[in-house]
Amino acid sequence: MIRKNSEYPLQPPRERGTGRAFLFALVMHALLGFFLYQGIQWQNSTPEGEQAELWTEVPDSAIPHPVVTPPPAPVAPAPPVRDEQADIALQEKKRQQQEAARAAQLAEQQRQLKLKEQQEAEAKRQQQLAADEAAQLAAQKAAKLKQQAQQQQQQQQQAEKLKQQQLAEQQKQQQLKEQQEQQQKQAQAEAQKKADAEKAAKTKAQADATAQAKKQLDNERRTRLAQMQGLAGGVGGSSSSSNGLGKNGTGSGSGGTAASPGYADKVRRLVLQHVNWGGETEGLETVIAVRCSPDGNQLSANITHGSGNAAWDAAALRAVKASDPMPRDVNGKTPDYFLVTLRPAS
């Protein structure tokens, strides 16, 4: 793997045997210098001189001469064998030195050539390593840029998705708010409608109650008048059962203990508060007999005359029972027995 630390620059790997090659080259240079020195010394030495005598034979027929016994010819000194062998040895040594020098020079040239080739190979290798490193860095940079682009794209997608979710949530909240507002408006409208209806019903009930009270007062006056005329026996029960408050839906009559003229209005107002009916109203009339203790607690409440509609009869009976205790009369006591006639409001 390529080192990226600036403290350790790239270096060519050490070759094995470099020390031995350097030592061998040093020895060869020393031998070459020695051989060159010996050769120069050999060429500068003064060669030893040699002497030779030449003899020419003369034919006897050409010149007569007396026969003279020639002196013995001097023997030419033989060349020194040792000097010739030394020259040969020196020449051989010189040749060997030259060959060794040429071999050393050739070895040096080969070494220089090999070193140059190694340097060129190392330079190529360094260039290749640099190119590989640059390519690797470029690839890493491209991969990093691609990864960053992917991350940015993912972040944008997530942001867009979150924005869409928030927008959908806002729309949902807006719809829910609009629904709630619409429901509130509907509830308010219904409440207003119900309040208006209740107000109208109350107004009508009050008007009917007033008319019924007036009618009841007239009936009571006529009853009293009849009693005063001696007709009380014929009017008693019928007046008690027929007293009513018209369209208002409640009425009362007295039996047993006589009630004051305004007592029926008290009973009407109390029972009206507990009437809960939403069905038909045409032709319905229920008469309920009520027995009470002097303090107003109901002892019994029974239907003496039904309307033919069991639901309305039950609603009327519930309204009477829900009015317990009954109001007291002006004398501080509640009548022990009276009739309540109820009609649904139209």
The whole-number pLDDT of residue 231 equals 32
94-114 pLDDT tens trace: 888 888 888 888 888 888 988
Between 334 and 246, where is the model more confident?
334
Has residue 48 been placed in a domain?
no
> Confidence band (pLDDT; 50, 70, 90) for 271?
confident
Range of 67-71, 227-231, 261-265, 335-339 with top mean pLDDT: 335-339
Has residue 45 been placed in a domain?
no
Q: Within the chain, how many helices (H) and strands (E) appear?
A: 5, 4
Work out whether strand 286-292 and strand 298-305 pair parallel, antiparallel, or are unpaired.
antiparallel
Last residue of a domain, one of 128, 158, 188: 188
Does position 226 have pLDDT exceeding 80, yes or no? Answer: no
9-22 pLDDT tens trace: 566 666 677 778 88
**In this structure, are residues 252 and 341 in contact, taking their beta carbons and an 8 Å threshold?**
yes
For residue 305, the cross-strand partners are: 287
Report the number of distinct structural domains present in the chain: 2
Backbone phi, psi, residue 344, to 5°: -70, 150
For residue 253, the cross-strand partners are: 339
Last residue of a domain, one of 159, 188, 217: 188
- Full domain range(s) for residue 275: 205-342
114-143 pLDDT tens trace: 898 999 999 998 989 999 989 989 999 999
The conformation of residue 246, written as its DSSP 8-state character, comes to G
Measured from the Cβ of residue 56, the count of other Cβ atoms closer than 10 Å reads: 4
Backbone phi, psi, residue 164, to 5°: -65, -40
Has residue 318 been placed in a domain?
yes
Has residue 307 been placed in a domain?
yes
**In this structure, are residues 220 and 235 in contact, taking their beta carbons and an 8 Å threshold?**
no
- Amino acid identity of 118? Q
The whole-number pLDDT of residue 36 equals 85
Structure tokens at 324: 């317990």
Mean pLDDT of 316-329: 89
**In this structure, are residues 260 and 329 in contact, taking their beta carbons and an 8 Å threshold?**
yes
Residue 254 and residue 321 share a domain: yes
Q: Which of 134-138, 176-180, 206-210 has the lowest mean pLDDT?
A: 206-210
Q: How far is residue 61's CA from residue 86's CA, in Å, rounded to a whole number?
A: 47
Mean pLDDT of 80-93: 73
Mean pLDDT of 26-46: 78
Q: How far is residue 307's CA from residue 310's CA, in Å, rounded to a whole number?
A: 8
Backbone phi, psi, residue 230, to 5°: 85, 15
Backbone phi, psi, residue 25, to 5°: -65, -40
Residue 167 and residue 254 share a domain: no
Structure tokens at 305: 């005359």
Residue 178 and residue 215 share a domain: no
The whole-number pLDDT of residue 292 equals 92
Helix (H) or strand (E) holding 15: none
Q: How far is residue 256's CA from residue 240's CA, in Å, rounded to a whole number?
A: 10
Backbone phi, psi, residue 255, to 5°: -145, 150
Residue 209 and residue 108 share a domain: no
Q: How far is residue 97's CA from residue 40's CA, in Å, rounded to a whole number?
A: 12
Residue 164 and residue 222 share a domain: no
Q: What is the CA radius of gyration of the chain?
A: 77
Q: Taking CA 237 as the corner, what is the angle to CA 231 and CA 241, rounded to the nearest 5 degrees?
A: 130
Residue 338 and residue 226 share a domain: yes
Q: Is 300 helix (H, G, I), strand (E, B) or coil?
A: strand
Between 276 and 82, where is the model more confident?
276
Residue 219 and residue 137 share a domain: no
Mean pLDDT of 260-269: 81
Residue 307 and residue 243 share a domain: yes
Residue 209 and residue 338 share a domain: yes
The whole-number pLDDT of residue 287 equals 87
Residue 175 and residue 112 share a domain: yes
Has residue 296 been placed in a domain?
yes
> Confidence band (pLDDT; 50, 70, 90) for 224?
low
Residue 317 and residue 278 share a domain: yes
The whole-number pLDDT of residue 245 equals 35
Has residue 71 been placed in a domain?
no
Does position 232 have pLDDT exceeding 50, yes or no? Answer: no
Q: How far is residue 295's CA from residue 270's CA, in Å, rounded to a whole number?
A: 16
> Confidence band (pLDDT; 50, 70, 90) for 291?
very high
Residue 244 and residue 166 share a domain: no
Mean pLDDT of 325-334: 88
Has residue 3 been placed in a domain?
no
Q: How far is residue 306's CA from residue 343's CA, in Å, rounded to a whole number?
A: 11
The whole-number pLDDT of residue 214 equals 67
Does position 261 have pLDDT exceeding 50, yes or no? Answer: yes
Helix axis angle, 310-321 to 263-272, nearest 10°: 110
**In this structure, are residues 346 and 281 in contact, taking their beta carbons and an 8 Å threshold?**
yes
The whole-number pLDDT of residue 85 equals 76
Measured from the Cβ of residue 140, the count of other Cβ atoms closer than 10 Å reads: 10
Q: Which of 100-109, 176-185, 207-216, 282-291 has the lowest mean pLDDT?
A: 207-216
Last residue of a domain, one of 188, 222, 250: 188
Has residue 195 been placed in a domain?
no
**Mean predicted lDDT score pLDDT of the chain:** 75
Q: pTM for this one?
A: 0.30
